[in-house]
Structures are given as structure tokens and as C-alpha cells.
């Protein structure tokens, strides 16, 4: 049994509980949230809930799926009210059944917090003096004080922006109705997210699976030092909600792939590609064409960057019209190897946000049919005209890429670990070689430490008949090393895809 619903009717808790009856369940935990007559020292007479239906329904169902996977839940039922409620009315009802009681309590608490944090729901509180305020429900949790916004505050927040003749109140209304997804909340995504939140984009979806490291902070300016070791998506969402409580932030703690791209992007008007690898950039390019999404891409290199927009309705072509295939994985170094000045991704992320705002407001942009190349070291920029390629494999006259599933083909050089594998189990299958430098991590038992800076196939005494698995932090250096070994006669040399990060945190040590 699994049900998420939004209703304007009185919640029937008895009927809902009956729906969860299960002879195989050892525990049933329920939670009821009721309307009280006060909040933050003010006497409340009644309130009204306003719900962004499409997004709330999709996110609610996603929360229930997450809970089922995390806690082995047998049944879940969640109902949230909308419309006008009286003092004492039940506003939300949550029921969970599991085999054991501990999981039932944990699952219920998880769902309660997720519903409060992630559903795009506002409530209007009316007070005894006749005044009222809109309250963002995502801030009602132990980690957030309630944030109340008066109607005068709403106009003041965007006052300077609305003074522009291109925006005014009509343009601000368009921004508040827009839905933008940001893929990757690193250097580019941090800047873009803050810019969009400040401008008042109504719904911002954050798609990010990584954990914050100290080396990220100089360019990923949305994060405080206290967030090191935490999931980026939740840390970024918290900062954005604090920065602008008038908008809705939706979190997706997962890696975008060909299998989930449509589900993650379907509810958004615009997608910002703030990723740092070609594999995902080409996937997003193809998704934009196949799913009819407006895509704004940015890429950086040392002191330089480029910006382009991909409009499925435009005759200007896409990324594959320029370069049909991405470069071989691992052949282009990333910022961890080349270095990057922190202001470069900050500027290009802001440019991506700027292009998104122009699109929502209906303003023309040169990036719709050009690529912007900008060298921030010499402050030189120029535009390169893009032209559609009739032979393009995704937007040409006879495309060969007609499904996102085409991207699931894996390189035979890469080994993809399962969720249960650790170095102990991998050591039973491969001769393990750790290519990380001495300062990147402790020595792992049952592995040979051979830093990439000193890598030389002639130093290996292992038989060329033995399967060899090389790994590094992210899988790029190991891919290069595996290619080198293959060329030197090790036909069973493999790279651990995505490196040490691909293994769950508690399984990285043997």
C-alpha cells in the first residue's frame, strides 16, 4: 500500500488507518498535524494552504519511494490538506507500517521532515487583529525558525528589479511562475542558484549527488565551512531557503543518468547544465532535444569559459552539431588537475542564470544562435555563430539518437561496482592498484599504492593474464592508466568507474 494525496476535504484518519491494515506488519506509526490557535506569539484564527499541485504530487510520491527503500516499509499513506482550515483541523496525516517498530518510527520521522522541507506548500495565517501573512511551510522544522513574510515585504524584496521597464510587476509574475532545474550544484551551479533565487524564480530544482569537500569551497560559494562532509544538495537548499523564503526549492539527491533524466526534468521549463564532465553534458544536450526543454550550458577551462543555449525549436542546432561525439572519457583534464580561479565558475554560473531570466521574460539573446567564448584573464570575448548540421545524430534530418537509453552503453575499460561491493570483495576478483597520491587518502589493505604521478607499466610485476583494477579519486586518472596498460599488453586492465567515490562511504575501507 502506497498513497500520497492532497485533499480539500476533512481528513478521515480512521479510513486511512484501515487502508494500511496488514497482517504481516508488526508496527504501525501514525502522525497527525493539527492547526493550532497561535504561532510565534501571534493568535491565529484560521489558515489556508496553497499547493503547487503538479510538483507537490511528484515530490510527495518521490518521498514515499525513498522511505520504502531506506526503511523496508510495507505500507505508507500521506494526505495533506489544501484550502481553508479551522483551528483544530488535521492538516496532514502520515501512516507507516513496517515489520519492526524501530523502522516504523524512523520512517515516519523521515517522511515528516521531508514533507515539511520539500513540498511546495504555503499557508496563509490570519490573526485576531485581521492581518495575515504567508508562511513557507518548508521552514517549520527543528533546524529552521518560522519565516513570516508580509505582503509589503513581498513587493520590497524585488522592488529594484521590478523598477526595470523590461520587468515591472508583469515580468516578476512570470519569474515567480517559472520552474528551473539546475544539474550540478558545484562552482557553476552555486552561482546560478543564488542568482535565480534572488531574482524570484518560483521553483528551483537542485539535482546533485555529491558530498562537499574542503577543496570545493573556493569556487562553490553557496556553502559554509560547516557543510564540509554533508550532502551538497541539502546544504545548498538550506542556504537558498534562508536567502529567499518566498520561493520553492526541490532537492534531488541523485546522479542524473539516461534512466532517470526524463523523470527528473519533466516538470521544469528550463534546465541549467552546471556539470563538469562531457558525458553528462552530451546527455543533457540530447535530453533537451528529445524532451523539448530549453537548455543553458556552460563550461570552464582555467581562466576561460563558454556559454551556449540549446532551444529545441531553434534552427541553430545543438552541441552535437558542433562536435558529434564527446571526447574520450579521461582525455580532457578537469579543474582538479588543471586548477581554476574561483571567480571563473562564479561568473559563468551568473551568466547562465542571466540567460534563463531573459528567456522567462521574453528578451532576445545572442546566445540562442552563437557560442560565447570569454577569456577572463585578458578580458577578451567573442561570439561564434552556430549552424545546424543536417547530419546531426540527435537533431538532424535522420537522427540516430532517438532515445536517452542510448547513453547507458558502458566503456569496456570501466568496471562498475555494485552497491554492496567494497575493496575486500574487489580484491577477490582483481589485483588492485591505488593511483591516488600519498596525501589523498590512507593506504588501503590488499592494494598496491602506485601514485599516478609515478605510474609506469614497467614497474608492475603482476602477470598480464591477471585482471587488474585501477582506481583513483574520481576515475579519470585510472581510466588513462588502464588505457596505458591495455596498450602495453594487459588485456584485463580496468578502471573503477567514478573512482573511490563510487563506493558507499561505509564500504570504502577493506
DSSP for residue 292: T
Are 390 and 427 in the same domain?
A: no
DSSP for residue 405: G
Are 275 and 188 in the same domain?
A: yes
Sign of CA dihedral 169, 171, 174, 179: negative
DSSP for residue 438: G
Which residues face 132 on adjacent strands?
Answer: 126
Which structural domain, as residue segments, surrounds residue 45? 2-149
What total of structural domains would you count in the chain? Answer: 3
The residue with cell 509589503 is: 152
| CATH code of the domain in which 98 resides | 3.90.1170.40
Are 160 and 286 in the same domain?
A: yes
Rounded Cα distance between 55 and 175, Å, is: 17
Q: Enter the C-alpha cell of residue 464.
A: 598480464
Query: How remote is the C-alpha of 298 from its chain's centroid?
Result: 16
Are 35 and 127 in the same domain?
A: yes
Rounded Cα distance between 94 and 113, Å, is: 11
Written as tens digits, the pLDDT of the chain (510 aa) is: 899 999 999 999 999 999 999 998 999 999 999 999 988 778 999 888 888 787 788 889 989 998 888 888 999 999 999 999 999 999 999 999 999 888 899 999 999 988 887 887 888 888 888 887 766 555 444 333 344 455 455 557 888 998 999 998 899 999 999 999 999 999 999 999 999 999 999 999 999 999 999 999 999 999 999 999 999 999 999 899 888 878 889 999 999 988 899 999 999 999 999 998 888 999 999 999 999 999 999 999 889 999 999 998 888 889 999 888 877 665 555 555 567 888 999 999 999 999 999 999 999 888 888 899 999 999 999 998 888 899 998 998 988 888 887 766 556 788 887 767 778 888 889 999 999 998 888 888 888 999 999 999 988 889 999 999 999 988 888 988 998 999 899 999 999 988 887 776 544 444
SS3 307: strand
Q: The pTM is what?
A: 0.64
Q: How many CB atoms lie within 10 A of CB 243?
A: 14
Rounded Cα distance between 281 and 497, Å, is: 17
Phi and psi dihedrals of 455, rounded to 5? -65, 130
- Using CB atoms within 10 Å of the CB of residue 322, give its burial: 0 to 12 exposed, 13 to 18 middle, 19+ buried: middle
Are 168 and 139 in the same domain?
A: no
Instruction: Please say which residue of 98, 133, 149 terminates a domain.
Output: 149
Are 182 and 197 in the same domain?
A: yes
pLDDT at 146: 43
| CATH code of the domain in which 495 resides | 3.40.250.10
pLDDT at 379: 92
Q: Enter the C-alpha cell of residue 210.
A: 555529491
Are 124 and 236 in the same domain?
A: no
pLDDT at 407: 65
| CATH code of the domain in which 360 resides | 3.40.50.720
Are 381 and 430 in the same domain?
A: no
Rounded Cα distance between 432 and 494, Å, is: 10
pLDDT at 241: 87
For residue 2, give every residue at least 6 positions away whose Cβ sits within 8 Å of its Cβ, in sequence order, or none: 64, 68, 75, 76, 77
pLDDT tens digits, one per residue of 410-455: 567 888 877 677 788 888 899 999 999 988 888 888 889 999 999 9
Are 401 and 423 in the same domain?
A: no
Rounded Cα distance between 172 and 348, Å, is: 23
Are 166 and 295 in the same domain?
A: yes
Q: Enter the C-alpha cell of residue 213.
A: 569537500
Are 100 and 11 in the same domain?
A: yes
Rounded Cα distance between 502 and 28, Å, is: 35
Q: Residue 229 in contact with residue 257, Cβ under 8 Å?
A: no
Are 168 and 224 in the same domain?
A: yes
Three-state SS letters, 325-336: CCCCCCCCCCHH
Q: Between β-strands 148-149 and 75-81, what pairing exists: parallel, antiparallel or unpaired? A: unpaired
Q: Between β-strands 431-434 and 90-98, what pairing exists: parallel, antiparallel or unpaired? A: unpaired
Q: Residue 13 in contact with residue 90, Cβ under 8 Å?
A: yes
Query: How remote is the C-alpha of 86 from its chain's centroid?
Result: 37
Comparing C-alpha atoms, which of 155, 116, 134 is closest to residue 31? 116
Q: How far is CA 72 from CA 58, 66, 96, in A?
A: 21, 10, 11
Alpha helices in 292-382 (DSSP H): 319-322, 335-338, 343-361
Instruction: Please say which residue of 386, 408, 430 terminates a domain.
Output: 408
Listing DSSP states for 440-460 in one string gives: GSPPPTTEEE--GGG--GGG-
Instruction: Please say which residue of 359, 377, 408 terminates a domain.
Output: 408
Amino acid at each position: 500500500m502506497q498513497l500520497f494525496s492532497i485533499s480539500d476535504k476533512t481528513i478521515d484518519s480512521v479510513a486511512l488507518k484501515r487502508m494500511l491494515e496488514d497482517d504481516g506488519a508488526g508496527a504501525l506509526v501514525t502522525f497527525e498535524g493539527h492547526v493550532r490557535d497561535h504561532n510565534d506569539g501571534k493568535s491565529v484564527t484560521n489558515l489556508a494552504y496553497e499547493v503547487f499541485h503538479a510538483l507537490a504530487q511528484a515530490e510527495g510520491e518521490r518521498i514515499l519511494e525513498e522511505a520504502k527503500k531506506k526503511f523496508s516499509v510495507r505500507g505508507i499513506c500521506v494526505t495533506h490538506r489544501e484550502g481553508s482550515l479551522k483551528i483544530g483541523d488535521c492538516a496532514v496525516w502520515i501512516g507507516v507500517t513496517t515489520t519492526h517498530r524501530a523502522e516504523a518510527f524512523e520512517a515516519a520521522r523521515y517522511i515528516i521532515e521531508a514533507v515539511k522541507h520539500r513540498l511546495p506548500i504555503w499557508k496563509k495565517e490570519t490573526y485576531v487583529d485581521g492581518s495575515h501573512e504567508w508562511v513557507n511551510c518548508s521552514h517549520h522544522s527543528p533546524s529552521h525558525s518560522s519565516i513570516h513574510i508580509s505582503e509589503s515585504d513581498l513587493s520590497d524584496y524585488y522592488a529594484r528589479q521590478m523598477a526595470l521597464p523590461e520587468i515591472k510587476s508583469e515580468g516578476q509574475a512570470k519569474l515567480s511562475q517559472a520552474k528551473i532545474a539546475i544539474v550540478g550544484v558545484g562552482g557553476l551551479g552555486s552561482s546560478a542558484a543564488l542568482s535565480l533565487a534572488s531574482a524570484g524564480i518560483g521553483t528551483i530544482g537542485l539535482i546533485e549527488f555529491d558530498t562537499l569537500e574542503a577543496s570545493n569551497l573556493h569556487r562553490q560559494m553557496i556553502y559554509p565551512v560547516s557543510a564540509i562532509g554533508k550532502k551538497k544538495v541539502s546544504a545548498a537548499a538550506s542556504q537558498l531557503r534562508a536567502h529567499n523564503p518566498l520561493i520553492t526549492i526541490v532537492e534531488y539527491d541523485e546522479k542524473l543518468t539516461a534512466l532517470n533524466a526524463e523523470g527528473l526534468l519533466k516538470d521544469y521549463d528550463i534546465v541549467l547544465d552546471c556539470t563538469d564532465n562531457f558525458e553528462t553534458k552530451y546527455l543533457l544536450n540530447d535530453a533537451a532535444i528529445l524532451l523539448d526543454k530549453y537548455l543553458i550550458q556552460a563550461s570552464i577551462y582555467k581562466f576561460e569559459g563558454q556559454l551556449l543555449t540549446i532551444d529545441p525549436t531553434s534552427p541553430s542546432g545543438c552541441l552535437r552539431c558542433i562536435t558529434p561525439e564527446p571526447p574520450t572519457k579521461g582525455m580532457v583534464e578537469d579543474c582538479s588537475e588543471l586548477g581554476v580561479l574561483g571567480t571563473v565558475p562564479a561568473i559563468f554560473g551568473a551568466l547562465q542564470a542571466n540567460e534563463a531570466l531573459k528567456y522567462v521574460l521574453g528578451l532576445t539573446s545572442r546566445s540562442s544562435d552563437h557560442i560565447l567564448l570569454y577569456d577572463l584573464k585578458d578580458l577578451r570575448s567573442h561570439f561564434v555563430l552556430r549552424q545546424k548540421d543536417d547530419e546531426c545524430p540527435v537533431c538532424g534530418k535522420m537522427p540516430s539518437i532517438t532515445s536517452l537509453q542510448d547513453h547507458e552503453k558502458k566503456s569496456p575499460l570501466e568496471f562498475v561496482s555494485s552497491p554492496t561491493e567494497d575493496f575486500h570483495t574487489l580484491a577477490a576478483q582483481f589485483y588492485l592498484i591505488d593511483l591516488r597520491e600519498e596525501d589523498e587518502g590512507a593506504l588501503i589493505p590488499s592494494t598496491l599504492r602506485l601514485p599516478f604521478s609515478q605510474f609506469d607499466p614497467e614497474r608492475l610485476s603482476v602477470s598480464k593474464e591477471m585482471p587488474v583494477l585501477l582506481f583513483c579519486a574520481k576515475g579519470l586518472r585510472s581510466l588513462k592508466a588502464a588505457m596505458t596498460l591495455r596498450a602495453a599488453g594487459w588485456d584485463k586492465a580496468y578502471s573503477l568507474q567514478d573512482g573511490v567515490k563510487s563506493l558507499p562511504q561505509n564500504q570504502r575501507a577493506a
